[in-house]
A = this chain, B = another copy of it.
Amino acid sequence: MHIGEFAKRSGISERMLRYYESRGVLTPRRSDAGYRQYSEADLQQATLVRQLNEAGLKLDSVALLLPCLVDDAPHFDPCDRVRATLANELSALDQKLDALQQSRARLARLVDQVKNAV
């Protein structure tokens, strides 16, 4: 499918799809005329990319991890190469998770206070 339909189905703007491609995290085939041709597999990958990105991973990191995540039987050559990166991302993720949970708790408590005060 072309980018317009794909954007609707994935919920990702055309702008961001092109950006994803420029960052090497989603590279659809091209028609003879140069039109991007997205597949069903691209749909899953796009969603995965979006989720990882929204979770705080930069697209560069996503690009590194992607080869390890797409295959059902992962090949570890590239994974091994980026293991350090991976570990860093993971601990950064944990840290962010902690901060996020603390903030969440704080805000939730605040919401409760507001509600009870009414």
Contacts and interface: CB of A to CB of B under 8 A. Distances in A.
A16 interface: no
A65 B100 contact: no
Given A90-B108, A97-B97, A108-B90, A55 B103 contact: yes
A97 B108 CA distance: 14
Contacts of A104: 55, 90, 93-94, 97
Contacts of A113: 74, 76, 79
Interface of A: 51-52, 54-57, 65, 68-69, 74, 76, 79-80, 83, 86-87, 89-90, 93-94, 96-97, 99-104, 106-108, 110-111, 113-114, 117-118
A111 B96 contact: no
A110 B96 contact: no
